[in-house]
């Protein structure tokens, strides 16, 4: 086992970047300010793809700390553009799922496992029993209710309705991940009803939701999107198959297809173009963007 590296002062971090990694630092005062704002480890991730092929610990000629900092700022801006679109899509999906379950099974039908697929995850849980996804999701919901017991909505339903929550209330306590799990185990007829509203099939919509959950979680935790491989790849139709990758662009194509409100998407697209123009340092190919990305997203 390797020994952990010793901590470094800002001045030592700057010297390490210059001497060991060959990074250009034009102004050490500005460099110190950057490193005091953005963790050295976080910032260093934006240097991926900028190292020399024959010397993987040294940057290519001409790469500066300001260049890497610009990539960090670009990524931060991109997250800020993506977040409200995913928020719009998540809220819309909550609405559609709640409406479908309420209409089909009543206010508390979502609690009844008979109205869901009996799917179970592979790993065993601590109690040794193989719980269904529906059971796991309901347990997570109960924990959310307990944790948010002082929230006015939760408090009202605990005091007025004896702890009974109709689906149109309960759905607002779901995380996006819980929402994805619930959709994946809804009965085929219910999943189809919702998928049709997105002009697609249930399996396709399921892949879109999982991709958006991953991107949303990255954005929520200030993670890196720029040049970041993603675990979830959304299904792309034939006309977009050529743009499949494990980077962010396929997720953007998915967001466009799912967004019914043209104003939401126009705002995103216009702002994205402005962001890209502001940061020419960003290599769009690192995010899976093709040359004609603007035609595809327009």
3-class DSSP state for residue 191?
helix
* pTM attached to this predicted model: 0.93
Weakest-pLDDT range from 43-57, 236-250, 280-294: 43-57
Token digits of residue 298: 């327009």
Q: What's the rounded mean pLDDT across residues 211-221?
A: 97
Longest dimension (CA), the chain: 69
- Residue 225 backbone phi and psi in degrees, to 5: -105, -40
Give the pLDDT band of residue 55 (cuts 50, 70, 90): confident
> So what's the pLDDT on residue 56?
85
Which residues are CB-contacts of 238 (< 8 A; sequence separation ≥ 6)? none
Distance (Å, rounded) from C-alpha 203 to C-alpha 205? 6
- For residue 128, what pLDDT band results from cuts at 50, 70 and 90? low
Quick one: average pLDDT of 270-288? 97
Q: What would the pLDDT profile of 230-273 be if each residue is shown by its tens digit?
A: 999 999 999 999 999 999 999 999 999 999 999 999 999 999 99
Grade residue 5 by pLDDT with cuts at 50, 70 and 90: confident
Torsion of CA 119, 124, 128, 134, to 10 degrees: -30
Question: For the chain, what is the mean pLDDT?
Answer: 95
């Amino acid at each position: 086992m390797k020994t952990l590296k010793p901590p470094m002062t800002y001045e030592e971090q700057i010297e390490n970047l210059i001497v060991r990694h060959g990074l250009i630092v034009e102004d050490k005062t500005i460099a110190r300010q950057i490193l005091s704002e953005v963790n050295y480890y976080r910032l260093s991730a934006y240097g991926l793809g900028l190292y020399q092929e024959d010397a993987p610990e040294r940057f290519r000629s001409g790469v500066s700390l300001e260049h890497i900092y610009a990539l960090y700022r670009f990524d931060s801006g991109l997250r800020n553009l993506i977040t409200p679109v995913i928020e719009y899509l998540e809220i819309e999906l909550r609405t559609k799922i709640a409406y479908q379950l309420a209409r089909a099974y009543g206010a508390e039908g979502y609690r009844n496992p008979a109205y869901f697929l009996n799917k179970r995850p592979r790993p065993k849980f601590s109690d040794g029993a193989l719980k269904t996804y529906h059971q796991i999701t309901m347990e997570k919901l109960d924990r959310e209710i307990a944790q948010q017991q002082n929230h006015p909505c939760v408090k009202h339903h605990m005091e007025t309705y004896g702890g009974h929550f109709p689906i149109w209330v309960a759905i607002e306590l779901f995380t996006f991940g819980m929402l994805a799990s619930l959709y994946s185990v809804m009965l085929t007829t219910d999943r189809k009803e919702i998928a049709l509203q997105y002009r697609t099939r249930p399996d396709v919509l399921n892949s879109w939701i999982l991709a958006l959950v991953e991107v949303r979680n990255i954005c929520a935790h200030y993670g890196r999107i720029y040049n970041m491989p993603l675990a979830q790849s959304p299904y792309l139709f034939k006309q977009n198959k050529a743009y499949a990758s494990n980077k962010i662009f396929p997720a953007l194509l998915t967001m466009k297809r799912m967004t019914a409100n043209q104003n939401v998407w126009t705002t995103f697209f216009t702002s994205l173009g402005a962001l890209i123009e502001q940061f020419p340092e960003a290599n769009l190919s690192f995010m899976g963007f093709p040359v004609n990305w603007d035609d595809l997203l327009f």
